[in-house]
Homo-oligomer: A and B are copies of this chain.
Amino acid sequence: MVQSNKKTIIMFSGDLDKAMAGFIIANGAAAMGDDVTMFFTFWGLNILRKPENVPVKKGFLEKIFGWMMPRGAEKLGLSKMNFWGMGAVMMKKIMGDKQVNTLPELIASAQALGVKMVACTMSMDVMGIKEEELIPGLEFAGVATYLGEADQAGVNLFI
């Protein structure tokens, strides 16, 4: 069976642990020469937020969502045993001790290796997240783009 060397990953969850899993797979595949596209949707958009507050015009509920959701890769919690952030701090401490790449490092490496990172425009609209609030180097598209890529890929994951 001939397989495509293309892979897609939908990043739905904004959890530190799941984000790391997604980026470890993406980096591994890209390092092996694969063509990798990551689609960031719903909570997954939080992974891409800039750490600083970016002044943009938002509606009331959009502002609330914006305040309550973690602003960027450094602020994400764990999907389990997070304990109001303590779990994430512990996990990052352990990873630092073991010299595992941090999530920001994994994101930078993915970009350097040519992983295509696409932010879902419909989710951005719903969450009230604007382009200026996200890190540079992204593309912006919707579900049709995802489907077009997935159709050509041999591995498609939803994380």
Interface residue ranges, A against B (CB under 8 Å): 1-5, 10, 12-14, 17-18, 21, 24-25, 28-29, 32, 34, 41-43, 59, 61-62, 64-65, 68-69, 79-81, 90-91, 93-95, 97-98, 100, 122, 125-126, 128, 143-144, 146-147, 150-159
30 A-B pairs with CB atoms under 8 Å apart are A1-B2, A12-B17, A12-B21, A12-B159, A17-B42, A21-B41, A25-B147, A28-B143, A28-B144, A28-B147, A29-B147, A32-B147, A59-B97, A61-B93, A61-B94, A61-B97, A62-B94, A65-B90, A65-B94, A68-B81, A69-B81, A94-B128, A98-B125, A100-B125, A147-B155, A150-B154, A156-B156, A157-B157, A158-B158, A158-B159
